[in-house]
């Protein structure tokens, strides 16, 4: 059973104070106390990566590096709150009470479709509405590290001199890919639709008149469809338009008009020995393909890259994780087993096949249900744009951040460490910017084995983007927040190694545990306003990073954590 047997912030504070008596926590370089946030040297993984041949081996090395860099950086205070009994009950109960609401059904009822296809704007907006309501009605947001972002994008991002060039290289790559998606009008037609260079190449030759007007496409016929029901000719025309410009459609229509004219030219039909009905059918099929291509391009423009970038950056990790928890029908008795499994998942890199094998071997109903939630391997589109409510193998780490930073049945196992890319956000961005230092180290490992410029998704770049947003925790929500990075300016930090940091934290918390205690008491019985002396006793402006000095005394106490009004 879970040892996080408290329901509210008062119980959290009491648990945390007791926990800190037995484990020394660090505040140096982190936003919220953790076991250790020292920047890890990952050079050995760079060397291993250079000798790796297969992508599977390279990814295993990279994720070993991630685990090594983040294994003791979990924000214990916020992790305990996210996984506690009170949140467990309120979080799951909310879904039972709201499963028939219009916004919830808009994406929940389409889950199987979203497992295989890119999401539209409506399902994204409905998801974010539900996430906002869930946070409010469950009382999840207790401090800035568990709240929705209300700060602007970090337009000036300071990093140490040794990391400036690498961060700039990452930013340039991110901007280049973003610009390419803009030019394509969103990218949802171009990727993953079963269109090869051979298809678009033939279509270009046909449109330019370099092959016969009545030629048969190499894939068989003008009306042949791919697995998603889209005409291959339509996707080829749409892809060609995104690659080369808007004239493609008009030129295709000109060629189509020539086919139609042939139908009405009896002399040409006779001279070429054509079957009139067959030519007429081809004309209809070409016209239909061009119309479908125009529809695809319109859809692509409606689904703008900025909206999709927000989707990725704005995924509400906590809300989605609780949704998956609800979907797998977890209960209090089996919850601790799931937590332990997620914790141990972060101790050794495990491939997709082994994860599925492990889940199939576990004797719990939740493990079989979890298998059924995964997005399909044959995803029709760019996996960058998978709906934030759909579980993937990679998003198991999001569940682990919420429920597996340590086993809820044995929190002291946190000393063993469990790596998670989300824990990078607990590293601070001031001073020498240990967050950027770690991201840089991971990028060097990744780029030692992969040609990152030709990859749509580069994991270290995604975490850098999260840092640009100003996130200080895995548990913050960024929906509606400016997710762009085109205006970010990378500068060298003025600090040398070992100098004092600029500030306690990028955020200022509001009220203290004492205030939270009084609110709880006043909800049961009317209590007089707090005395002036008690107000003076409340320390203002402290940060979660000040919650511990690495000693197990007052510095690690919950009184240093600020709670929301």
In this structure, the strands spanning 489-492 and 156-159 are parallel
- Domains along the chain with CATH numbers: 9-136+148-181+334-492 (no CATH), 197-302 (1.20.58.1110), 511-563 (no CATH)
CB 352 within 8 A of CB 518: no
Q: Which residues of 550-561 are buried (b: 16+ CB within 10 A; e: fewer)?
A: eebeebbbbbbb
What is the pLDDT at residue 184? 54
What tens digit of pLDDT does each residue of 7-48 get? Answer: 999 999 999 999 999 998 988 889 999 999 899 999 999 999
Structure tokens at 251: 């030129």
| Angle separating helix axes 85-98 and 121-138, nearest 10 degrees | 130
Give the Cα separation of 492 and 156 in Å (integer). Answer: 10
What is the pLDDT at residue 122? 83
Give the Cα separation of 372 and 368 in Å (integer). Answer: 7
If we measure between CA atoms, which residue out of 380, 301, 396, 295 comes closest to residue 346? 396
Per-residue pLDDT in tens (0 to 9) along the chain, 565 residues = 899 999 999 999 999 999 999 998 988 889 999 999 899 999 999 999 999 999 889 999 999 999 999 999 999 999 999 999 999 999 999 999 999 999 999 999 999 999 998 887 788 889 999 999 999 999 999 999 999 887 666 678 888 888 999 999 999 988 887 777 665 554 443 333 345 667 788 998 999 999 889 888 988 899 898 766 788 898 888 878 866 666 889 999 999 999 999 989 888 888 888 898 888 999 999 999 999 988 887 776 555 444 444 444 478 999 999 999 999 999 999 999 999 999 999 998 888 889 999 999 999 999 999 999 999 988 876 677 789 999 999 999 999 999 999 999 999 999 999 999 999 999 998 888 999 999 999 999 999 999 988 887 899 999 998 888 888 999 999 876 555 666 677 888 765 444 343 433 333 332 234 444 454 555 555 444 443 333 333 233 333 333 333 333 333 555 555 554 4
What tens digit of pLDDT does each residue of 276-287 get? Answer: 888 899 999 999
If we measure between CA atoms, which residue out of 354, 359, 352, 357 comes closest to residue 375? 352
Structure tokens at 133: 């309501």
Q: What is the pTM of this model?
A: 0.71
* Beta-carbon count within 10 A of 411 CB: 22
What is the pLDDT at residue 269? 84
Residues with Cβ within 8 Å of residue 257, at least 6 apart in sequence: none
CB 434 within 8 A of CB 29: yes
What tens digit of pLDDT does each residue of 164-176 get? Answer: 999 999 999 888 8
Alpha helices in 362-512 (DSSP H): 365-373, 396-403, 434-449, 459-468
């Amino acid at each position: 059973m879970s040892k996080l047997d408290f329901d509210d912030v008062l119980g959290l504070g009491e648990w945390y104070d007791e926990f800190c008596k037995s484990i020394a926590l660090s505040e140096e370089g982190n936003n919220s106390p953790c076991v250790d946030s020292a920047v890890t040297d990952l050079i050995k993984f760079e060397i291993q990566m250079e000798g790796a041949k297969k992508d599977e081996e390279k990814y295993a090395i990279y994720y070993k590096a991630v685990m090594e860099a983040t294994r003791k950086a979990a924000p214990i205070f916020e992790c305990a709150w996210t996984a506690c009994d009170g949140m467990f009950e309120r979080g799951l109960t909310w879904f039972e009470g709201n499963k028939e609401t219009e916004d919830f059904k808009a994406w929940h009822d389409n889950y199987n479709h979203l497992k295989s296809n890119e999401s539209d704007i409506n399902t994204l907006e409905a998801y974010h509405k539900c996430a906002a309501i869930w946070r409010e009605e469950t009382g999840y947001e207790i401090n800035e590290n568990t709240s929705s972002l209300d700060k602007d994008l970090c337009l000036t991002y300071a990093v140490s001199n040794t990391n400036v060039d690498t961060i700039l290289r990452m930013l340039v790559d991110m901007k280049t890919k973003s610009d390419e998606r803009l030019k394509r009008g969103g990218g949802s037609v171009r990727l993953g639709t079963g269109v090869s260079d051979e298809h678009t190449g033939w279509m270009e030759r046909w449109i330019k008149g370099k092959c016969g007007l009545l030629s048969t496409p190499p894939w068989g016929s003008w009306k042949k469809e791919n697995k998603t029901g889209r005409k291959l000719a339509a996707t080829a025309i749409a892809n060609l338009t995104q690659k080369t410009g808007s004239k493609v459609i008009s030129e295709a229509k000109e060629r189509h008009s020539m086919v139609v004219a042939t139908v009405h030219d009896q002399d040409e039909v006779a001279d070429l020995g054509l079957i009139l009905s067959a030519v007429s059918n081809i004309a209809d099929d070409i016209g239909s393909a061009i119309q479908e291509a125009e529809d695809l391009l319109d859809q692509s423009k409606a689904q703008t890259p900025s909206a999709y970038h927000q989707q990725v950056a704005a995924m509400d990790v906590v809300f989605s994780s609780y949704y998956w928890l609800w979907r797998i029908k977890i209960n209090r008795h089996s919850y601790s087993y799931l937590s332990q499994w997620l914790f141990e998942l972060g101790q050794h890199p495990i491939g997709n096949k082994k994860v599925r094998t492990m889940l199939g071997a576990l004797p719990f109903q939740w493990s079989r249900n979890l298998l059924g939630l995964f997005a399909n391997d044959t995803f029709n589109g760019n996996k960058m744009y998978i709906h934030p409510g759909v579980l993937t193998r990679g998003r198991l780490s999001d569940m682990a951040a919420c429920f597996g930073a340590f086993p809820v049945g044995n929190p002291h196992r946190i000393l063993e460490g469990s790596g998670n890319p989300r824990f990078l956000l607990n590293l601070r961005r001031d001073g020498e910017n240990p967050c950027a230092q770690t991201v840089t180290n991971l990028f060097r490992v990744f780029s030692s084995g992969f040609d990152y410029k030709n990859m749509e998704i580069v994991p270290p770049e995604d975490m850098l983007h999260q840092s640009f947003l100003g996130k200080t925790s895995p548990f913050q929500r960024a929906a509606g927040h400016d997710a762009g990075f085109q205006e970010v300016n990378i500068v060298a930090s003025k600090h040398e190694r070992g100098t004092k940091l600029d500030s306690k934290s990028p955020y200022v918390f509001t009220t203290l545990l004492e205030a939270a205690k009084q609110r709880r008491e006043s909800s049961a019985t009317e209590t007089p306003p707090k005395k002036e002396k008690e107000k003076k006793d409340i320390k203002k402006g402290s940060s979660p990073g000040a919650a511990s000095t690495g000693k197990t005394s007052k510095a690690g106490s919950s009184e240093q954590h600020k709670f929301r009004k």
